[in-house]
Amino acid sequence: MSTTTDSAHPPLSSLAEDERLFRASVHEFADREIRPLVRQMDEQAAIPAGLISKLFDLGVMGIEIPETCGGAGASFFHSVLAVETLSQVDPSIGVLVDVQNTLVNNALLRWGSDDMKRRCLPRLASASIGAYALSEAGSGSDAFAMSTRATERGDEWVITGRKLWITNGYEADLFIVFANANPDAGYRGITAFVVERGAPGFTVGKKEDKLGIRASSTCELLFEECRVPRASVLGDVGKGYKTAIETLNEGRIGIGAQMVGLAQGALDHAIRYTQERKQFGKAIAEFQAVQHQLARAATEVHGARLMVYEAARRRDARQPFLTEAAMCKISASEVAERVASLAVNLYGGYGFVKDYPVEKLYRDAKIGQIYEGTSNLQLQTIARQLLGGWVAVD
């Protein structure tokens, strides 16, 4: 079996030499260390601790963390490349790395005090998983309708409430938690805190049994008079809404990268299978109808990848990227679902069973249109940028 191009790699002209080498090292790691574990992790809904340690050793858990704090001191674009490349093999590992880098590490780098950075960043670069706790039962798309409260008592803050759908919740040691410290002020009372696992009154609750990305943990968090030091405030009191909005804009690029990687992985499987599967005396890749479906899928994946790369480049260049982030997330998530579905179709009956890889990727793809901002919210963001005051804001 051979192809005239390597569909597993993005266009080389779009990558600098250090980016190509970085991507190649992550690709080799994913093939060697992750691929043999994919089905086991999906069935057991867990990531082996040994694999997490290897991700830290690889250097992909602290990509933008400065070298002085034990990180790689690289760019946001490198984080996007890592998430994309890992997600070609297993999107569960992709999102683990994504949340660590684009949400947790980024929030601490931007809004953490010098003392907080000294305490947290070396841990996040070397051994500790982070989680980002914003969503609640009644606060999903309307993220600022949160009911979790924070009350100042002497030298401590006391947090009370419940968070849901928290990625990395099972493995995390550090949690960025959003609570309202002044409910009368509405969203202007929202404040971000760094909470350690084991803080008094803090419990990691139920781990969700999910359709896809099953190895990635999604948990509830319970705060029952949880006490944290005053120094746990991330940024300024009452400015947590700004932290949440700006960090999630970056996180959406990461989810776009995850979905592009998933789509590329599904396409790679489909290309290989159609060259091996024979019907009517020849490989099904020889049928023009199959060729055209693969060609259209490759075109869509390429377009989604370029949108993700543009958004990431703009972020690194400190240019506005709000619209580009929304566009790349909605595009990549829709492409991932279509391409994964095509792969199942091309595998035929084999695509519907767990012995073959595309069934899992099809399940994994669905979440891309839901988390870190639903597709409807992305469309609303884009429309507001296009139409300004013509779009009603309640």
CA 100 to chain centre: 8
210 torsion bin: left (phi>0), alpha (psi -120 to 50), beta (else):
beta
CA distance 9 to 13: 11
Distance CA 304, CA 322 (A): 16
The token pair that represents 50 in the structure block: 């040994």
Question: Do 369 and 333 touch, CB atoms closer than 8 A?
Answer: yes
Token pair, residue 302, equals 């390429």
Structure tokens at 363: 């399940």
Helix (H, G, I), strand (E, B) or coil at 233: strand
Which of 19, 64, 136, 372 is an active site residue? Answer: 372
What is d(CA 47, CA 172) in angstroms, rounded to the nearest whole number?
12
For β-strands 190-196 and 233-234, DSSP reports them as antiparallel
Whether 84 sits among the annotated catalytic residues: the reply is: no
Task: Please answer whether residues 146 and 133 qualify as being in contact, where contact means their C-beta atoms are separated by less than 8 angstroms.
Answer: no
Q: Is 161 left (phi over 0), alpha (psi -120 to 50) or beta?
A: left
Give the chain's count of helices (H) and strands (E): 12, 10
Q: What is the C-alpha to C-alpha distance for residues 333 and 324, in angstroms, rounded to an integer?
A: 14
Return the DSSP state at 139: B
DSSP secondary structure letters along 273-342: HHHH-EETTEEGGGSHHHHHHHHHHHHHHHHHHHHHHHHHHHHHTT---HHHHHHHHHHHHHHHHHHHHH
Q: Just list the catalytic residues.
A: 372
